[in-house]
Amino acid sequence: MLRQHCLNQNRKSWHGFAAYTLLGFLLISQSWPSIRAEENVAKSHTWQEAFEVLGISWNSDGTLKREIQIPMVDATPSITDPKNPPVALSTDVQLSYKSKAYVRLYIPVNPPKDTKLPLIIYLHGGDFVLFSASTVIFHDFCNDIASQFPAVVVSVEYRLAPENRLPAAYDDAMNAIFWIKNQALGIGGRDPWLDYADFSRVFLLGSSAGGNIVYHTALRALDFDLRPIKICGILLNQPLFGGVLRTPSEIRLMEDPYVPLYVCDVLWTLALPPYANRDHEFCNPISGGSYLGRVPRLPRVFVKADEGDPLIDRTTQLVQLLMRYRVPVIYQYNRGGFHGIELQNKTAAQSLYDDMKRFVYSTRATDDEESHDSY
């Protein structure tokens, strides 16, 4: 589904769009019509078509065979070719000898010796069904963040659906946070790369399905004493949400080449718990459920969305919810664009890196301590 598109963005200054958000930018969609999914699905599409688009098929044991040809790459823990050095260094760390769970750590090639770096916990995209922390597009994304911010990045390898349906990915993200807490406390020793991290400046970052995982993980984390680590903010890049009732952007972009609606429907069926529909809280965060009462306690949130993404209305609805609960929100809304644009367009990627870096370096632990004491 990944093809090259041109970027048509209406960029605003950081302070400009932040102020615009605070003045009520999100009122644009208050009166959207509600249209039932069953009345608007393109009836000609089948599960087989969706599977072909995704490059998946069933194995005889009920697991998936994943055939999408996006390379996976090894970590780069050292510079082996001085003439062609990596953007950042990376290494894989197994979280427990009892499981296959691991994270991929990233640090700048030349990390500062006298300054601690923010710690970014990253959850990759892939619709809950595809890809890995070692998939090259997400590996390169983390390399760029570690180098440009600079930051220590912890990219989480989480279990995929349908073999492990939600909330398995949320559980894996929480386990990674608990591992980082133990690293901060020195329990069982500490990976030397994490000596560069400022555990009082931890951020959760997710793209697409990873954005969904970050949102739910941030809400779950409110129930735990994570000290000495401090989650100061969350960053949602084109987060993947849905619902039974179609939004105008979903209808307008029903046959989108990147996230066509019929493919999204199949993916949600594979990812959600059995018998759950798309108004389950894992898919539709504004539908209610056990998490709503925790929303006011969230830290500062950065949200990025593109007008050409079928999920744009879902993202706007979430930002409206956050603002209604008085959660501090920075909403980066871009004209044009498409889902996953930063993975193909270097200009779009650099704009995203710059915006996220400003968010991270403008967010201080003391800002959240005044009103969010739970982290």
User: Where in the sequence numbering do the catalytic residues fall?
Assistant: 208, 309, 339
CB 186 within 8 A of CB 199: no
Contact 304, 238 (CB under 8 A): yes
C-alpha 88/C-alpha 1 separation (Å) is: 28
82 CB-near residues (< 8 Å, 6+ apart)? none
Residue (of 179, 201, 198, 200) closest to 190 by Cα position: 179
Query: Rounded CA gap, 135 and 228, in Å?
Result: 31
Structure tokens belonging to residue 48: 């087989």
Helix (H) or strand (E) holding 269: helix 261-271
Q: Can you say how many angstroms the Cα of residue 374 is from the centroid of all Cα atoms in its chain?
A: 22
The DSSP letter of residue 109 is: S
Report whether 265 contacts 41 (CB < 8 A): yes
Residue 87 burial (C-beta neighbours within 10 Å; 0-12, 13-18, 19+): middle
Q: Which of 223, 220, 218 is nearest to 202 (CA)?
A: 218
